[in-house]
């Protein structure tokens, strides 16, 4: 499967080879489609309105039938749930909300039986403030080994009443909280890049590193196939914790619209890499046969720019994959999409890593809503009833086209639960029910992420749309979810669910995940590319313009994101075909 760098095709006269899929071995994680389960909202077995592990296990056959290769579960560990489980109080225990450790074992076993791999979330940047380490730190004196595990500092000013630096929390407000010492006096401050209930660990300390290596082994011994690593770019902070004057966001530069040559002192410090090198050695040691089918993997959540910096996380000795947030952040713009596709392959191929693709997750407005907003506006952090509402029909149409484009791309892909149903965000959720700490900490200026975390609609005619046996759901479902419930779409030609199933089936049958990608160089509104796969040469047209585009004579359509007008591809529609 080697191509001439400018192979002509009927629809791609000047297509450039931007990714050569023949250069890599076929390890499963290089092309896996991984489905993100958000445990709180996938399926509720016990009727308390909160999803749980038994519920997840009961719905795994649906995911097998959808055609994904693996699942990634957001945290289900013991947690006070101050940040929906990303505040872990015991990394080796299942929170009673979600079940018991036995349920986790049964879930992994059932997934394996169905041919699905299981990836769990690891949250190393911070623990919960209810973790036994943090409780011990609060009970101990400044300078004690217990405090050493976290980022405690004396405050500034004569009485230490000023925070140690000016850093702000990603969720809003300052990134430092002052503690009361055991003797009742006002004391030191601790760092929390997120909520005050999420104190940052001190990753310079060997004990912290050893603890996390042991946690990795715990879950590997239980049978999981890998880890998604939370805030992978945040573990090490710049020495001296210098002030940082820009706003702090998850996204790499931590800036809103500004640019700077300096890297934020809390993100993407070089010291993080040795942590991941040691984890990779552990993962490798769990593959006893050396056959790539036994590879255990890790995927980085690293909001790092530019792509060259992000690529450092996926060097052969570190992560297997990293989320491609540049792709997720790209507006519905043919030039920008072409550019991000090209740059993503260039960066990852330079270190021999697979490129991954993602459009939605539990932290961003779902792409069915995002793409229904005016193009070129910054992505909002949640949408409320009084905000400009997305155009639902346009959003879904574009979302289907965007996913059709995404799943044609060689590499790995992530699907966020419910996007296969075309779910939008709940964009009119009452503020009183919001649970994301962002809402409170931003002083009610940012709605936050609840809108994309709403419980799944499974059956239109059941209470709670079949989320569980009761009508309770921890967040309300919008009325629009009824018509989108899985049972309303299964087997229905043209439904979003059937589109996803078809794409995943064709992608697998034709080995498109392992293909090479040719991208047409152009400045027009149409993205044209060819996935040169082992089993076929699949041509792709995504029409982002207003005028319809003709397919070539003899085109055999494999997949279309929307109805075609004869051989014409309408606006905001994408097609896979062979010719």
Nearer to ligand NOJ by Cβ, of 123 and 558: the residue is 123
Residue of 44, 83, 103, 230 marked active site: 230
**Nearest-approach distance from CB 123 to ligand NOJ, in angstroms:** 6
> Distance between CA atoms of 579 and 576, rounded to whole angstroms?
10
* DSSP 8-state class, residue 510: T
Looking only at residues 211 through 230 of this chain, which bind ligand NOJ when binding is defined by CB under 6 A? 230
Please report whether residue 129 would count as binding ligand NOJ according to CB under 6 A. Answer: no
Query: Looking at 20, 44, 83, 225, which residue binds ligand NOJ (CB under 6 A)?
Result: 83
230 is catalytic: yes
> Distance between CA atoms of 239 and 88, rounded to whole angstroms?
26
Nearer to ligand NOJ by Cβ, of 75 and 457: the residue is 75
225 is catalytic: no
One DSSP character per residue, 402-459 reads HHHHHHTSSSEEEEETTGGGT----TT--GGG---HHHHHTTSS---SGGG-PPP---
Number of residues that make up the chain = 579
Residue bearing tokens 């960066």: 347
Residues 6+ apart with CB under 8 A from 479: none
Query: Looking at 12, 53, 123, 229, which residue binds ligand NOJ (CB under 6 A)?
Result: 123
Please report whether residue 103 would count as binding ligand NOJ according to CB under 6 A. Answer: no
Residues 291-310, one symbol each (x = binds ligand NOJ by CB under 6 A, - = not), give ----------x---------
Nearer to ligand NOJ by Cβ, of 18 and 170: the residue is 170
**Nearest-approach distance from CB 39 to ligand NOJ, in angstroms:** 13
Distances (CA, A) of 502 to 160, 418, 435, 491, 548: 62, 16, 36, 11, 24
Residue of 121, 301, 532, 572 marked active site: 301
3-class DSSP state for residue 112? helix
Would you say the C-alpha torsion 266, 269, 271, 275 has a positive or negative sign? positive
Size of the site for ligand NOJ (CB under 6 A): 9
Nearer to ligand NOJ by Cβ, of 72 and 244: the residue is 72
Query: Looking at 215, 224, 231, 538, which residue binds ligand NOJ (CB under 6 A)?
Result: 231
**Nearest-approach distance from CB 391 to ligand NOJ, in angstroms:** 27
Nearer to ligand NOJ by Cβ, of 129 and 230: the residue is 230
**Nearest-approach distance from CB 267 to ligand NOJ, in angstroms:** 12
Nearest one of 364, 450, 437, 381 to 196, comparing CA atoms: 437
**Nearest-approach distance from CB 122 to ligand NOJ, in angstroms:** 11
Tokens of 275: 């942590």
Contact between 165 and 238 under an 8 Å Cβ cutoff? The reply is no
Burial of 259 (0-12, 13-18, 19+ CB in 10 A): exposed
> Angle at which helices 53-66 and 496-509 pack, to 10 degrees?
60
**Nearest-approach distance from CB 441 to ligand NOJ, in angstroms:** 11
Nearer to ligand NOJ by Cβ, of 76 and 86: the residue is 86
Nearer to ligand NOJ by Cβ, of 228 and 397: the residue is 228
One DSSP character per residue, 537-556 reads EEEEEEE-SSS-EEPPTT-E
Contact between 273 and 318 under an 8 Å Cβ cutoff? The reply is yes
Nearer to ligand NOJ by Cβ, of 234 and 411: the residue is 234
The distance of Cα 265 from the centroid of its chain, to the nearest Å, equals 24
> Distance between CA atoms of 51 and 53, rounded to whole angstroms?
7
Please report whether residue 86 would count as binding ligand NOJ according to CB under 6 A. Answer: yes
Query: Looking at 194, 276, 325, 577, which residue binds ligand NOJ (CB under 6 A)?
Result: 194
Residue bearing tokens 């499974």: 458
> Distance between CA atoms of 65 and 115, rounded to whole angstroms?
11
Nearer to ligand NOJ by Cβ, of 362 and 441: the residue is 362
Looking only at residues 240 through 269 of this chain, which bind ligand NOJ when binding is defined by CB under 6 A? none
Residues 6+ apart with CB under 8 A from 312: 273, 318, 351
**Nearest-approach distance from CB 102 to ligand NOJ, in angstroms:** 26
Residues 6+ apart with CB under 8 A from 82: 128, 129, 195, 197, 198, 437
Contact between 343 and 366 under an 8 Å Cβ cutoff? The reply is no
**Nearest-approach distance from CB 162 to ligand NOJ, in angstroms:** 26
Please report whether residue 363 would count as binding ligand NOJ according to CB under 6 A. Answer: yes
**Nearest-approach distance from CB 84 to ligand NOJ, in angstroms:** 7
Binding residues (CB under 6 A) for ligand NOJ: these are 83, 86, 123, 194, 230-231, 301, 362-363
Catalytic residues: 230, 301
């Amino acid at each position: 499967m080697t191509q001439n760098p400018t192979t002509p095709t009927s629809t791609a006269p000047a297509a450039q080879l931007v990714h050569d899929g023949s250069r890599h071995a076929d390890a499963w994680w290089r092309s896996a489609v991984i489905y993100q389960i958000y445990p709180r909202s996938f399926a509720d077995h016990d009727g308390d309105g909160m999803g749980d592990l038994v519920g997840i296990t009961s719905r795994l056959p649906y995911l097998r039938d959808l055609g994904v290769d693996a699942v990634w579960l957001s945290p289900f560990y013991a947690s006070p749930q101050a940040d929906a489980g990303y505040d872990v109080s015991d990394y080796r225990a299942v929170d009673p909300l979600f079940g018991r450790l036995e349920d986790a074992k049964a879930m992994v076993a059932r997934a394996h039986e169905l041919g699905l791999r299981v990836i769990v979330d690891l949250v190393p940047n911070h623990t919960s403030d209810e973790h036994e380490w943090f409780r011990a730190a609060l009970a101990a004196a400044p300078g004690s080994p217990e405090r050493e595990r976290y980022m405690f500092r004396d405050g500034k000013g004569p009485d230490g009443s000023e925070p140690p630096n000016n850093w702000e929390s990603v969720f809003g407000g300052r990134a430092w909280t002052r503690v009361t010492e055991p003797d009742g006096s006002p004391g030191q401050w601790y760092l929390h890049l997120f909520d005050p209930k999420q104190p940052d660990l001190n990753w310079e300390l060997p004990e912290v590193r050893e603890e996390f290596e042991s946690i990795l082994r715990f879950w590997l011994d239980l049978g999981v196939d890998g880890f998604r690593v939370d805030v992978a770019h945040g573990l090490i902070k710049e020495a001296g914790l210098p002030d940082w004057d820009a706003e702090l966001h998850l996204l790499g530069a931590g800036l809103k619209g500004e640019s700077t040559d300096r890297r934020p002192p809390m993100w993407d410090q070089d010291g993080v890499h040795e942590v991941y090198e040691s984890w990779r050695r552990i993962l490798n040691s769990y593959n006893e046969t050396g056959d790539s089918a036994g590879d255990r993997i890790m995927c980085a959540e690293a909001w790092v720019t530019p792509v060259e910096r992000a690529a450092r996380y996926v060097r052969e000795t570190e992560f297997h994959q990293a989320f491609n947030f540049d792709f997720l952040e790209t507006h519905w713009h043919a030039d920008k999409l072409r550019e991000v596709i090209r740059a993503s392959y260039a960066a990852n191929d330079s270190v021999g890593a697979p490129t991954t693709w993602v459009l939605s997750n539990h932290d961003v407005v779902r792409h069915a809503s995002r793409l229904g907003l005016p193009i070129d506006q910054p992505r909002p952090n949640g949408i409320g009833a009084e905000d400009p509402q997305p155009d639902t029909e346009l959003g879904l149409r574009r979302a289907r086209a965007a996913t059709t484009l995404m799943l044609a791309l060689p590499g790995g892909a992530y699907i966020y639960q419910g996007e296969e149903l075309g779910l939008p965000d709940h964009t009119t959720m009452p503020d009183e029910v919001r649970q994301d700490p962002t809402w409170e900490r931003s002083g009610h200026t940012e709605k936050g992420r609840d809108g994309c975390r709403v419980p799944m609609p499974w059956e239109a005619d059941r209470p709670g749309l079949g989320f569980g046996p009761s009508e309770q759901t921890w967040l309300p479902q919008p009325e629009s979810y009824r018509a989108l419930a899985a049972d309303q779409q299964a087997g229905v030609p043209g439904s979003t669910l059937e589109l996803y199933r078809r794409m995943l089936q064709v992608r697998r049958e034709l080995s498109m995940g392992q293909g090479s990608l040719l991208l047409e160089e152009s400045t027009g509104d149409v993205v044209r590319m060819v996935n040169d796969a082992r089993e076929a040469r699949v041509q792709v047209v995504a029409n982002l313009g207003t005028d319809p585009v003709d397919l070539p004579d003899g085109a055999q359509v494999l997949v279309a994101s929307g109805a075609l007008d004869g051989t014409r591809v309408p606006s905001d529609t994408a097609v896979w075909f062979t010719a």
